[in-house]
Structure 1
Amino acid sequence: MLTIISGSNRPGNRTQEFAKHYLAEINRRGIECQLLSLQELPRDFVFRNSVCGEENPELDGIIQEHIETADEFLFFSPEYNGGYTGVLKSFIDVVPPKLFGNKKAALIGVASGSFGNLRGMDQLTNVLHYLGVHVHPMKVNIQRCDSYLNLDNQITDDFLLQLIKAQLDGFLK
């Protein structure tokens, strides 16, 4: 099972639109895939979790459904203050590390600026390597993200579509 993690909890975020595009493309390839938007997390998950010694059945269910059952991940993160999102880091921190070990991941950075969260993807790579995740070397850094979506939130840029295809072709072998 492949889990796509959309690493923003802000309503109306653009990261989710790119994650949905990947979901549709992977489904077209006949691969079992699910999307986890961090907007779905319980509001108190940072303080109510098994790592902190307090039960949170809703969070435990999300972790079981989307992390424990997954063999592969696509991590999407917008750029916040020169890095990946705090909510994504917090989510990773409340997941038992053994649930990530020896799995594989590909990363997609999203930003309104010029570098597509390049630094954040490097930071996230370091964390995932520490957890024993095999990170695919081709990262897609979506810069000036608003310029790639039309009014229906569809990607219209041929070059970006080629990058996405190349990343998925390499990752999903």
Structure 2
Amino acid sequence: MSQPTPTFTTTSPSSLIRLLQGITPLLSSFTTGLSLSLSVILVPRLLESPSPLILRQWLSAFHQGKKLIPGLSILSSLGYFLLSWWHFHPSGGSSTNGRLSKIYLLAGVATLSIVPYTRIIMWPTNLKLMAKEEEFSSWGVDHVLVTEEEEKGAKYLVDHWGLLNLGRAGLVGLAAVLGLGAGYI
């Protein structure tokens, strides 16, 4: 009796695809954690400080986050779109591959949707915070007294930004869950 010869099919994922299936959800999970930490850890600590300091520290964190989070999100969405393309079979591949393609596509769209979310939902608050920080910094270092209304206004804006940022973290978190879940289909 002869041993059956192993056959190779085009439907088995290559090493690169397996790597993407592991790294892409990991990357979006990391991005979710990073974004969540801004709302859950940073914002409450900022709210303990006086308004001029809150705004200066928020602006610094904003500029750091702007350098990192969009790039990580774009990399994640590219990974999800590549996985979706890989699993898409227009000639009628298995139904599992069709489902995987849709799940990865949805994960890519969810990740990329932080861009319009930020521009439409968060940007007005970002602009108000930047304007208020510029106003406070124009007073100079010696000016540390702010009115109660100014104090509440700055704290409200930072707190509001933290709540809005939870939505952005939720979008990337949804992508991470979809990407991880697709690995079990």
Between Structure 1 and Structure 2, the one with more helix by share is 2
TM over 0.5: no
TM interval, short-chain normalised: under 0.3
Between Structure 1 and Structure 2, the one with more strand by share is 1
* TM superposition score normalised by structure 2: 0.22
